[in-house]
Structure 1
Amino acid sequence: MLDRLIAYLDSIHARDPAPRSRWEILFYPGVIALGLHRVAHWLFEAEMFLLARLVNHFSRFLTAIDIHPGATIGKNFFIDHGFTVIGETAHIGDNVTIYQCVTLGGTNPTNGVGGKRHPTLLDNVIIGSGAQVIGPITVGERARVGANAVVTDDVPEGATMIGLKARSTLVPAEEWVKEFIPYGTPCDDPCQEEAGRSSRDCVERLEAEIKALRAEMDELRRALPAPATASAPKRKSGSKVS
């Protein structure tokens, strides 16, 4: 068990260079919240729902992280900072990273039946700060959700989701195969390039049209004959101007 704990702490250190020792990581809010969730989840599966809720509330009081006791979480899960909410039917795979202020929220069925209503995050998913992942959707392996994105549809494997409502962008293979990218967004930010491509193309097209129109106007000016200058009428000598 000690070996598993050390491996877990080392997996966090690989994603967060800030801590100087494993002891520092051990007191991270996300680590404490996950440890208490393991207890709450065990009580929940044993149908001791009230005790599970009490552990959940105590964990939320300590860490500002609210993980429903019914949520299923895999190995090496890391919540960087707090203020995160994870719903009851959420399923989280291995080596998943979630940053602050993230919600794994559920739909509100009108028929009163709970069922699967929260997201499923497969292995190696990264969720950026402030993202909202809503409903019984699946976020594919190695997918990334950018900061403040709102995701309500399934996310393909290896995709990066940005925007409101989130849309998928292509990620170069050399970025996709990386073990970990902080905040789910590559440093050279192909997402921003992809998102702004249509607007840049429009501006470039308009600038090219203006340049062509100016060149055409210059040619028309050169083709026109020079205007004749009218000479002023001469006054007769001795005439008076009334």
Structure 2
Amino acid sequence: MFGRLREDINSVFDRDPAARNFLEVLTNYPGLHALLAHRLSHRLWGHNLKWLARTISTLARWLTGIEIHPGATIGRRFFIDHGMGVVIGETAEVGDDVTLYQGVTLGGTSWNKGKRHPTLGDGVIVGAGAKILGPFRVGAGAKIGSNAVITKEVPDGATVVGIPGKIVKRAEPDTEEAPTFDPERREAIRQKFGFDAYGVSQDMPDPVARSMQAMLDHMHAVDQRIERMCTTLRKLDTGYREGRLPELRDEDFAEILADVDSCCGPDPRAERRTERQDTRRDAGDED
């Protein structure tokens, strides 16, 4: 028992730089108090002493502001930071090394008996105010941004933000990039798909803007590939004459590009697009 207590206290030191010493953590951390009370009530619940288990759980809620149902299964080195307003339902399952911030709800969406609450894999971090609702799994190492509402399964290692929750980062993003993409720019954008336990930062792109940018990347790659094909055809057949494509005017896309730039930063493709149009104009003049 004392070994498990020491392990729980050490997990606080690992994840909270404000923790200074053993006594302070033991006496002033409501998340630890709620966890210790839950371990006792969960054992009583397992021995069918359900009224006593619920009574201990209720007393712990009064003292800490954290409500953990005695039927919930909590893994090792579980840490609740700050803790006020955390609610964990009866059939919730929490893996090892999981971290929750204040205001988190592991709730259900049904009144039916049986599995109603989520399962959190090992190493999951759930930001302040997030709501995870339903009997599905949040994969190991996943991160849930603050105030997100999650109602469907989350893969391992993913970062999810928004209402409803959308995946903005995966554990193993695609590494095969089209040759026209700027690797440094793409890496900078990926860094913006980060995680903030207390609020979605202004630098984090909206998933819709991210989708729009992906489409623009794809269109740019297709455009360059067609240009290379036309160049090859001119070399093979001197009589081949390329038809002039309709010119794309920047003002037609100004509003969309402004929205993308506001989320993801300035787009260097605009300069490349202007250079490409100049090249086409020069080639037309020569013909």
What TM-score comes out, normalization by structure 2 length?
0.63
The whole-number CA distance in structure 1 between the counterparts of 2:2 and 2:196 is 27
Spell out, residue by residue over 1:45-97, the C-alpha distance to the aligned partner (whole angstroms, 9 max, x if none): 11111111110110000000000010000000001112100000000000000
**How far 1:197 sits from its partner (Å)?**
3.0
The whole-number CA distance in structure 2 between the counterparts of 1:138 and 1:184 is 23
Q: How many residue pairs were aligned?
A: 204
RMSD: 3.4
CA contact 2:150–2:164 (8 Å) conserved in 1: yes
The whole-number CA distance in structure 2 between the counterparts of 1:3 and 1:131 is 31
CA contact 1:15–1:182 (8 Å) conserved in 2: no
Q: 57, 80, 90: which is aligned to 1:88?
A: 90
Sequence identity percentage: 45
1:157-176 aligned within 5 A = 157-171=156-170
Structure 1 equivalent of residue 143 of structure 2: 144
**How far 1:6 sits from its partner (Å)?**
2.1
**SS of residue paired to 1:130:** coil
Amino acid at match of 2:42: H
> Per the alignment, do residues 97 and 84 of structure 1 end up closer, same or farther by CA in structure 2, a change over 3 Å counting?
same
> Per the alignment, do residues 184 and 7 of structure 1 end up closer, same or farther by CA in structure 2, a change over 3 Å counting?
farther
Structure of greater Rg:
1
> Per the alignment, do residues 8 and 202 of structure 1 end up closer, same or farther by CA in structure 2, a change over 3 Å counting?
same
Amino acid at match of 2:40: V
**How far 1:133 sits from its partner (Å)?**
0.1
When you count helix as a share of all residues, which structure comes out higher? Answer: 2
What TM-score comes out, normalization by structure 1 length?
0.74
> Per the alignment, do residues 188 and 10 of structure 1 end up closer, same or farther by CA in structure 2, a change over 3 Å counting?
farther
> Per the alignment, do residues 184 and 160 of structure 1 end up closer, same or farther by CA in structure 2, a change over 3 Å counting?
farther
**SS of residue paired to 2:36:** helix
Task: Work out whether 1:209 is the aligned partner of 2:211.
Answer: no
| Runs of at least 5 residues in structure 1 that lack an aligned partner in the other structure | 175-180, 216-242
Deviates more, 1:96-105 or 1:163-172: 163-172
CA contact 1:19–1:25 (8 Å) conserved in 2: yes
Amino acid at match of 1:4: R
**How far 1:199 sits from its partner (Å)?**
6.4
Structure 2 equivalent of residue 12 of structure 1: 12
**SS of residue paired to 1:183:** coil
| Runs of at least 5 residues in structure 2 that lack an aligned partner in the other structure | 174-194, 220-247, 255-273, 275-287
Structure 1 equivalent of residue 110 of structure 2: 108
